[in-house]
Amino acid sequence: MTRHAEMTPHAEMSPRRDYHDAVRALNALQTNHQILQQIRESGGRLNEHSIPEMRAFAEKLGHRASDFDRLRVVHVAGTKGKGSTCAFAAAILGQHPRRLRVGLFTSPHLIEVRERIQIDGAPLAADRFARYFFQVYDGLRAADPPLRRVHAGSPDMPMYFRFLTLMALHAFLAEGVDVAVLEVGVGGEYDSTNVVERPVVCGIAPLGIDHQATLGATIEEIAWHKAGIIKQGVPVFSAPQPAAAMAVVEARAAARAAPLQVVAPLAAADPAAARGLGIPGDHQRTNAALAAALCRAWAARTGLDPGGDAWIAAGLARARWPGRTQRFASPRLPRLAWLVDGAHTPESMAACARWFAAARDPPARCVLLFNAASERDAARLLDALHAAAGAAAGAAVPWAAAVFCPNAHAARADSTNHTVAVDAELRPQKAAAAHWAALAACPAAVLPSIPAAVRHIEAEAEAAAGPTCVLATGSLHLVGGVLDVAKGSL
Binding-site annotation: residue ranges: 107, 183, 211, 324, 341
Q: Please choose, from the candidates 437, 340, 439, the residue with its C-alpha nearest in 3D space to the C-alpha of residue 387.
A: 439
Q: Please choose, from the candidates 366, 363, 318, the residue with its C-alpha nearest in 3D space to the C-alpha of residue 338.
A: 366
Separation of alpha carbons 114 and 480, rounded Å: 13
Separation of alpha carbons 238 and 250, rounded Å: 10
Q: Cα–Cα distances in Å, from 443 out to 18, 301, 338, 364, 385?
A: 45, 56, 19, 17, 17
Separation of alpha carbons 469 and 369, rounded Å: 11
Question: Which residue ranges are tagged as binding site for ATP?
Answer: 324, 341
Separation of alpha carbons 296 and 307, rounded Å: 9
Going along 96-150, which residue ranges are E strands?
102-105, 117-119, 122-123
**Beta bridge mates, 104:** 118, 181
Start-to-end C-alpha separation, the chain: 36
Separation of alpha carbons 365 and 363, rounded Å: 6
Question: Which residue ranges are tagged as binding site for Mg(2+)?
Answer: 107, 183, 211
- Whether the link from the prior residue into 280 is cis, omega within 30° of 0, is no
